Structures are given as structure tokens and as C-alpha cells.
Amino acid sequence: MSVSGLTWLQRLSAISSLNDACRRALYTYVRSAGHSVGRDEAARAMAIPRSTASFHLDRLVRDGLLRPEFRKTPDKTGPGSGRPAKLYTPVLQEVGASVPARQYDLAGDLLATAIARSSAQGLPVTEVLLAVADAKGRKAGRPGDFLGVLTDLGYEPAQDATGGYRLLNCPFHRLSQDHQAVVCSMNGAFLSGVAAASGRDTGVVLQDPGAGHCCARIAAETNGS
């Protein structure tokens, strides 16, 4: 899972799901309803059969756009009224994806958090940014799955001859073109946090990235594994 809630592939799948006009209309209705929506309500709102609404709502759940919950509603009376109804709520208020993968929302969160803390604490913003990025990386890490996290975030890790990894994609590419020193340092701190939380005994080396590549390289593990 990415720091934004869905992996890059899940976000692509979610957006692809909305290519269907009926599904897109249902998602828009549920997102704007302001309350959990049941199948009957959705079917009435879209003027479609309940079975069709059910199919598309469950597909939106499968694709990560809606979350199901089960609750008894006050309009249910008579036989069977004790059974909870299946209701749907949005998982996210917005979903974006790009090809290749980018993480500009993550960059914005790190930079805004660092500026706010720097102002509140009177500390140099660069120092705070590195600490914030490291902490965020530690939250994103998964024990024993360092490469899986990098893949989910869109770094495209590829093993090199030294036993380390080159990162073939830069999730902060456009920002790094104009603000390389700040963005690459932030990225290095974030990756170091991911590595630490994932249990990888390794270093993150900042270097000349090359066309399209990330500025960071993952060094081989120091324990030789």
C-alpha cells in the first residue's frame, strides 16, 4: 500500500473502472450523497435495476473506490427487517494516477508539513523536511518487503551488478527538474526511512540520476545478504 492509500496499480485500476458510464454515475452519486448509500437507493437514483446497481457497486468496492458496511436501516420493516443492509461509502474523495507513476501528492504533504513545523518551532526548514520525510518513509515501510514498497510507490527498482538497486523511475520527476537539491534530499531521507522500517540493512546513495531515473540508488546490504 502506498502512502496515499492505494498503490499505483490500484489507482490505475480504479480509474479504469470509471470508464464505464453507469459505474461512473453511481460512484459520483455515492461520493456526493453525504451518507452511506444502499443498493435500493442507488438503483432508484440511477433509474436502473437493483441487480445492475448491485453489480456495479460491488465492482467499485473491488476496484478500491467504495467501502462496504453492514447496518440496519430505519426504513426496513416487516419479515427479514432484522438483517443489516449492505451500504456503500467512498474510500477516497479523489483518485489520480499517471504513467509513469508520480507521487506529487506525497511531495506536497512532506513540504507543507515541513514548512508548518519549521514556522511553529523556529527550526531550519531543510532540517525539518529531512526529518519529516524520514518519518513518513518509516510509516510507509513494511517489514521484510522493501522492494514491494518501492514498487508500489512507482520507483521501479532494478538490481545492479553490485547487489544494490537502481531506481528506474523518479516519482517526483517534474519537481526535481527545477528543485533538484531540495527534492532529491527529501527523496533520499524518505527512502532511508522506508529501508529502516522494512528492515533492510542498506544505504541510500544520491547520485546523477540519468534520463528519467531516480536520483537515489539503493546500496547493497552491508551484511552481505
- Lowest mean pLDDT, pick from 44-58, 72-86, 152-166: 72-86
Structural domains of the chain ordered from first start:
8-90 (1.10.10.10), 104-218 (no CATH)
Report the share of the chain in percent with pLDDT over 90: 42
Task: Report pLDDT digits (tens) over 81-114.
Answer: 567 889 999 886 666 666 677 888 889 999 999 9
pLDDT (0 to 100) of residue 2: 45
What's residue 75's pLDDT? Answer: 58
Q: How far is CA 32 from CA 10, 25, 94, 108, in A?
A: 22, 11, 12, 26
pLDDT surpasses 80 at 69: yes
Asked if residue 197 lies in contact with residue 138, where contact means CB atoms within 8 angstroms, the answer is yes
Query: How many other C-beta atoms lie within 10 A of the C-beta of residue 51?
Result: 10
Residue 128 phi, psi dihedral angles, 5° rounding: -65, -40
**How would residue 214 be classed by pLDDT, with cut points 50, 70 and 90?**
confident
Average pLDDT, the chain: 84
Average pLDDT over residues 125-141: 94
- Locate 84 and state its grid cell: 443489516
